[in-house]
Amino acid sequence: MPVLNERAYLEHAVDSVLGQQLDGPSELVLALGPSTDGTTELAERLAASDERVRLVHNPAAHIPVGLNAAIRASRYPTIVRVDAHSELSPGYAQRALATLERTGAANVGGVMRADGRTPFQTAVARAYNSRVGLGGGVYHGTAYEGEAESAYLGVMRRSVLDEVGLFDESIRRGEDWELNLRIRQAGHKVWLDPKLSVTYWPRESWWRLARQFRATGAWRGELVRRFGRSNGLRFFAPPALVLNLVLAIVVAVLQVVGVVHGIAAVVASVVYLPLVAYALLVLAMALRPGGERSLRERIWTLAVLPTMHVSWGFGFIGGLLRGARDTVDASRLGNRNTPLP
């Protein structure tokens, strides 16, 4: 578990791991980044209270570096990747091990079920869980079981990780997708079991969400530079939206100043149609019935979806044109200090 500024979530995440029922021995290796919110002190207390919790340091703070440090320090033949911003469902590890054995896969993953505690976080969670929000990635909600392109978090055979070379430490986001690409290229299977469920807690503020998605988009652009058509078509939807938006602004300015007028202006107005359709889609997502959705959550949905898509799209275009370079997820550099209930 890579950990950085997660004091509000870490104890819940650790409890969900240590509560897993397994037939054999297990351990939880926390890779500690240089936190500033008391996370390290909390991790040390958790390690002192349970001998199964072990600590390694990740001064670089990058997720793949921390993951590799934890894997190298681990002692058992199966690696269960977990996240400090998530909680494993009861029976997760036991079922995942059974699925590994049943399918012969190298990596088994389940479904990410995002959840929220506030109207904003709940709006983000609903976006995560919908096909509109994240483009229909198979592990964001499905009944399908079988081979998959990638796996959320993942329960992996250590022997296969050693074979393909662990996580690529030069990739700051999307490192799991790239690792699973190498696993599949080596002739192994990546498997999705929808009965495996992990609760994920999204970012808690608009600004952190925007920074997270810009960084993620930049690294997807970098992955397209490196691996080209191995990337799915759905990754190109947000940058297409951004380019359409920019083009629409240019056309609107030219129409207002009179450079484009008459029949040409009417024809050029076609550029607005995709944006109108997108706006109606976002509005439909905000108004759709479901549970006890508050007015604040519905209003936040109107901001959350465009923020996710536009931030990701701008990041993707930058990453594609110039590479991701040293782009990091700056939303991880700080977190709420209020523990979850």
CA distance 23 to 94: 8
Mean pLDDT to the nearest integer, 303-314: 96
pLDDT value of residue 336? 45
Query: Dihedral sign, CA of 301, 282, 200, 289?
Result: positive
Q: Are residues 180 and 309 in the same domain?
A: no
Q: Are residues 95 and 27 in the same domain?
A: yes
What range does the domain containing 304 cover?
226-328
CA distance 264 to 48: 72
pLDDT value of residue 140? 60
From 155, 173, 204, give the residue that closes a domain: 204
Q: Are residues 7 and 100 in the same domain?
A: yes
Q: Are residues 185 and 236 in the same domain?
A: no
CA distance 193 to 188: 16
Residue 219 domain-assigned (yes or no)? no
Residue 212 domain-assigned (yes or no)? no
Count of domains forming the chain: 2
Name the nearest CA neighbour of 239 among 319, 323, 138. Answer: 319
From 169, 204, 239, give the residue that closes a domain: 204
Q: Looking at this protein, which amino acid is placed at residue 244?
A: N
Residue 267 contacts by C-beta under 8 Å, 6 or more apart in sequence? none
Task: Please provide the DSSP assignment of 77-134 as one string.
Answer: SEEE---TTEEEPTTHHHHHHHHHHHH--SEEEEEEEE--SSHHHHHHHHHHHSHHHH
Residue 213 domain-assigned (yes or no)? no
Residue 63 domain-assigned (yes or no)? yes
Average pLDDT, the chain: 91
Residue 340 domain-assigned (yes or no)? no
Q: Are residues 97 and 189 in the same domain?
A: yes
Q: Are residues 32 and 87 in the same domain?
A: yes
Q: By 3-state DSSP, what share of the chain in percent is helix, strand and coil, each rounded to 5?
A: 55, 15, 35
Contact 109, 190 (CB under 8 A): yes
Mean pLDDT to the nearest integer, 71-85: 95
pLDDT value of residue 195? 92
Q: At how many degrees (to 10) do helices 63-73 and 175-185 cross?
A: 60
pTM: 0.88
Residue 78 domain-assigned (yes or no)? yes
Residue 217 domain-assigned (yes or no)? no
Q: Are residues 32 and 122 in the same domain?
A: yes
Q: Are residues 230 and 134 in the same domain?
A: no
CA distance 157 to 79: 6
Burial class (CB in 10 A: 0-12, 13-18, 19+), 255: middle
Q: Are residues 50 and 11 in the same domain?
A: yes
pLDDT digits (tens, 9 = 90+) for 122-133: 999 999 988 888
Q: At how many degrees (to 10) do helices 273-287 and 237-256 cross?
A: 120
* Percentage of residues of the chain with pLDDT beyond 70: 94
CA distance 268 to 174: 37
Q: Are residues 49 and 186 in the same domain?
A: yes
At residue 288's C-alpha, the angle toward residues 144 and 290, to 5°, is: 70
**Whether residue 340 has pLDDT greater than 90:** no
Burial class (CB in 10 A: 0-12, 13-18, 19+), 229: exposed
First to last CA, the chain: 22
Mean pLDDT to the nearest integer, 21-37: 94
Q: Are residues 130 and 188 in the same domain?
A: yes
Paired sense of beta strands 190-200 and 146-147, if any:
antiparallel
From 141, 170, 204, give the residue that closes a domain: 204
To which H or E segment does residue 157 belong?
A: strand 152-157
Mean pLDDT to the nearest integer, 235-246: 95
Q: Are residues 197 and 286 in the same domain?
A: no
Mean pLDDT to the nearest integer, 132-153: 78
pLDDT value of residue 341? 39
What is residue 144's three-state secondary structure? coil
**Whether residue 339 has pLDDT greater than 50:** no
For the domain that residue 66 is a member of, what is the CATH number?
3.90.550.10
Residue 210 domain-assigned (yes or no)? no
Confidence tier at 135 by pLDDT (50, 70, 90): low
pLDDT value of residue 338? 41
